[in-house]
Amino acid sequence: KQYLHTMTGAVITGCFTMASIAAFHLLKQQHQDISRRYLSVAVLVGFPASMIAAMPTGDWEAKQVQQHQPVKFAAMEGHFHTEDGAGLVILGQPNLQEMKIDNPIIIPKALSFLTHASWNARVKGLTEYDRDLWPDNIELLYFSYHIMAGLGTLFIALMGISLVLVLKRKLHTSRFILWLLMLSLPFPFIANTAGWFTTEIGRQPWLIYNLMKTADGASNNISQGNVMFTLLGFMGLYLLLSVLYFFLVTRIIGKGPELINQPETETEGVA
């Protein structure tokens, strides 16, 4: 189920990349014909992919987390206290001192329904579990999850509007939507990264869930200097690759699509 959710996210990223590049060329009034075609393909694939990422794959993933990792689920939802008919937090800031969500926007009873298909089902909160089982950074986990979910909702809305315009053959002339599509390029990458933040931060403090803690997996034979050297090395390598990637991709996008001339083949008639 996590594989399906992840692969759907990859498809969404590809579709938004195509749509963003096509919108860029259409706004500059260049490569019009081919840009219209791959913009339409991006939208026709991107809308169902965005829907599938939310339902059913996202729904499956959330229910699986609630069943097998209830502490992680409570933390990422900002659900501090056990409650019958628990509400779904849409916006708000987690307050660990007072064990509540500040400035909340909540859909009443929605969390109970989404997890148990019952409006009045009981959902356990963080305070139900020992503090040493809580994730190390609840605030980052909470915001990562809500950024992912919020952007996923935005993807559905933007691709849905674009699909309607494609069917009406008006998308290539709707400059406002084209601007939104062009500027949306980084959002799928942010959503995917936030999703993996949710996965990896949420499974803490466990290296192997319920069997081995991360602290127990550290080796006494590796010094802090070795760890820092390796970390800085990887960061430097990824920074270099990111700069090269950005340079090459922006150059290719600015140049536009190249049409490959097919060689003409001569056919001989049969006497």
pLDDT score of 271: 41
Phi/psi of residue 262, nearest 5 degrees: -75, 130
Please state the pTM of the whole predicted model.
0.86
Q: Give the 3-state secondary structure of residue 207.
A: strand
Q: Give the 3-state secondary structure of residue 84.
A: strand
Phi/psi of residue 170, nearest 5 degrees: -120, -5
pLDDT tens, residue order, the chain (271 aa)? 678 889 999 999 999 999 999 999 999 988 888 889 989 999 999 999 999 999 889 888 888 999 999 999 999 999 999 999 999 999 999 999 999 999 989 999 999 999 988 999 999 999 999 999 999 899 999 999 999 999 999 999 999 999 999 999 999 999 999 999 999 999 999 999 999 999 999 999 998 888 898 888 888 888 888 889 999 999 999 999 999 988 998 888 887 776 655 555 544 444 4
Contact 65, 202 (CB under 8 A): yes
pLDDT score of 269: 47
Q: Which residue has the tokens 């759907």?
A: 8
What is the residue extent of each domain of the chain?
2-255
